[in-house]
Amino acid sequence: MGTTAILIAAENHCGAALKRFVLLGSAVSVLNSFEDISKPGKPYTEKDWNPVTAEQAIERKNNVLGYNVSKIRGERAAWNFMKEKSPSFDLTVINPDIITGPMTHPISGPHSINETNQFAIASFIDGTYKEIEGVTFPFYHFVDVRDVARSHVDALENSAAANQRILLISGIITPQLVVNYIRKNFPELRSRVPEGNPAQILPPGVHPTDWDTRVSLDILAKGTKDGKWEYVDLETSVTDTVKTMINNRVI
C-alpha cells in the first residue's frame, strides 16, 4: 500500500532525524457511509471509524463508497505501521471534510477546477444546475483549504498532536448556503446562479449528523501562538473561491 511505502521510506531515509509524520486523511474515514441522513445521529468524534467495506462498495458499484474505503484503508495502514514497527517518529492524521477555498494551482480552464470546488461551488455558476431543488451533497460539512494547510504546518511542532487523529470541520455547507453567498457577494453573477429558497438552508428531509470536535479544537489551539484556533467561515471560503475563478476566467 502506498501509505505504508511512504512511511517505510521516511523511516529508512530520515532515521532518528524524523520526529513526526503528518498524514492527510479524510473525514470519510470517520463518518458512517450508511448514515440515515433523514435524522441526526450521535455526533462523530475522533474515536469513530467508518464501517463501510470494500465488498459493500463493489457490490453496490458505488464510486463514493470505494473512495471512502480507500481512505479508511490508508489511515488504518498508517496506524498499523506505527503499532507494529514502533518507529522513532510519531504520527498525526489530519481528517478534513469537504475542502473548499481559493486555488493556487495552475488553472487553464474550467476543467482545472479541483473536484470539491467544482461540485460544491462552480456547478452553481457554470450552468450545471438550473435550480437548487433536488440538489444534494455527499457530505454536509466543510473546511477551507487554508485551514487544512495551516493545520499541517502547526501539527509539525505541536506536542499535543502526537499520535492523534485531528478532525477539521469548520461548519455546515449546503447547496442553498453556497448560492446564497454567491448571489450576495457577486451581484453580476445572479442571472447565472439559481436562487432557490434562501431560507431553506438544508435540502428537504436532510438532517446530517454533527461533529463533536472539542478534542481536535483543543489540540489545534495548543499549536497556535495565542492558544486560539479559528476557522475560515463558509461565506469567506466561497467568496474567495469565486474570486479566484473570476480572476482566472474559468467561470
Domain spans of the chain, in order of start: 16-247
Domain 16-247 has CATH 3.40.50.720: yes
Residues 6+ apart with CB under 8 A from 64: 33, 138
Q: Which of 95, 104, 47 is nearest to 220 (CA)?
A: 95
pLDDT band for 110, please (50, 70, 90 cuts): confident
DSSP 8-class letter at 44: B
What average pLDDT is seen over the chain?
A: 96
DSSP 8-class letter at 94: E
Element (H, E) at 6: helix 2-14
Phi-psi group of 188: left, alpha or beta (phi > 0 → left; psi -120 to 50 → alpha; rest → beta):
alpha
Q: Which of 74, 58, 68 is nearest to 32 (CA)?
A: 68
Q: Which three cell numbers stand for residue 62?
A: 458505488
Strand ranges, E, within 89-247: 90-96, 98-100, 141-144, 164-168, 171-172
Looking at 35-39, 69-73, 190-194, which range is the least confident one?
35-39
pLDDT (tens digit, 9 = 90+) per residue, 13-47?
999 999 999 999 999 999 999 999 999 899 999 99
Q: What is the pTM of this model?
A: 0.95
